[in-house]
Copies of this chain bind each other. A is one copy, B any other.
Amino acid sequence: MAARDVVAQQDQPWSRRRLRSTNERLLLDRLRGLGAASRAQLARETGLSKPTVSSALASLEAAGLVHEVGTHAPERGRTAVLYAPDPAAGYALGVDIGRGWLRVAVVDLDGTVVARSDVRNRARASAAMADLVVGTARQVIGNSGVDPAEVVHGVVGTPGVYDEKQRRVRYAMHLPGWGRAGLFDRMREELGVPLEVHNDANLAALGEYTYGVGAGSRLFAYILIGTGLGMGVVSEGRLFTGAHGLAGEIGFLPWPGRQKPERLEDAVSGVAVVEAARQFGMSGQLTAKAVFDAARQGNPAAVRAVELEGERIAHTVAAAAAVLDPDLVVLGGGVGHSVDLLLRPVGEQLRTLTPLRPRIAPSRLGEDAVLLGAVATALGTARDLVFERRTGEGRPVRG
Contact = CB atoms under 8 A, between A and B. Distances in A.
Nearest to A29: B11
Contacts of A256: 256
Interface in A323-358: 323-328, 352-356, 358
Interface in A275-328: 315, 318-328
Copies in the complex: 2
Interface string A205-237: 000000000000111100000000001000100
Contacts of A12: 47
Nearest to A23: B14
B323 A253 contact: yes
Contacts of A352: 261
A235 B240 contact: yes
A248 B323 contact: yes
A252 B19 contact: no
Given A22-B14, A23-B13, A256-B256, A247 B324 contact: yes
B46 A242 contact: no
Contacts of A35: none
Contacts of A248: 323, 325
Contacts of A8: none
Contact of A325 (B13, B241, B319): B241
A4 to B, nearest CB: 9
Contacts of A240: 235, 240
A13 B47 contact: yes
B325 A249 contact: yes
A14 B322 CA distance: 41
Contacts of A328: 243
Interface of A: 11-14, 16, 19, 22-23, 26, 46-48, 52, 217-220, 231, 235, 240-254, 256, 261, 264, 315, 318-328, 352-356, 358
4 tightest A-B contacts by CB? A242-B325, A256-B256, A243-B327, A246-B325
